[in-house]
Amino acid sequence: MEICERNKARVDLQLRCFAHAGGRAAAAALLALFAAGCATVGQVTNLSQPACAAEFREAVSAVLSEQGENAETAGALAERTVSSLAAGALGPRPFLVSSSSGTDYEFFVQKKSDACLLRLYGRYHGFVSYTNNLTYIATRPLTRCECAE
């Protein structure tokens, strides 16, 4: 499952517009940029182990604190997130963390050859949204966790 699937239709439309306007080189460059921004979504497979759960909780809490959530709220949201993800076999998919501040955060786990990465790629507050699936808003390594695609 790719994190950027929902953008494919928009990019396809942009590519057709570029190609129609004679901008084949620009269309190819846009396609390359789009493909580079896609990431495979994974899942943590050992979240039931205390070391992994603690690291995952700390990573989520740190990212939320960086985004402006107070420490108490960030900790409670991180705890709830770990509990929810550990309780169900949801498969590899992005997950949403909704704060009482009115902000929703979109995360996913990415399996790399040498590590698992927790990535924040979207933030929504009211009618304002920010998504960055090229360089991501925040990334934390999960060295004590194991991942699968």
For 22-85, the DSSP string reads T-HHHHHHHHHHHHHT--B-BEES-TTSHHHHHHHHHHHHHHHHHTT--HHHHHHHHHHHHHHH
pLDDT, the chain, mean? 81
Q: How many domains does the chain have?
A: 2
* CB crowding 109-144: b at 16 or more within 10 Å, else e: bbbeeeebbbbbbbbbeeeeeebebeebbbebebee
**Does residue 56 sit in the same domain as residue 127?**
yes
Domain housing 107: 43-148
**Does residue 63 sit in the same domain as residue 133?**
yes
**Does residue 64 sit in the same domain as residue 135?**
yes
**Does residue 72 sit in the same domain as residue 25?**
no
The answer to whether the beta carbons of residues 146 and 48 sit under 8 Å apart is no
**Does residue 110 sit in the same domain as residue 84?**
yes
Q: Tell me the average pLDDT across 61-65.
A: 98
The answer to whether the beta carbons of residues 77 and 99 sit under 8 Å apart is yes
Comparing 23-32, 35-44, 45-54, 131-140, which segment has the lowest mean pLDDT? 23-32
**Does residue 28 sit in the same domain as residue 59?**
no
Each residue of 90-135: pLDDT tens digit?
A: 778 899 999 999 999 999 999 988 889 999 999 999 999 999 989 9
Top-confidence residue, 5 or 11? 5
**Does residue 93 sit in the same domain as residue 20?**
no
**Does residue 32 sit in the same domain as residue 80?**
no
Report the percentage of the chain scoring pLDDT > 70. Answer: 74
Report the percentage of the chain scoring pLDDT > 90. Answer: 60
pLDDT the model gives residue 113: 83
Q: Tell me the average pLDDT across 85-90.
A: 81
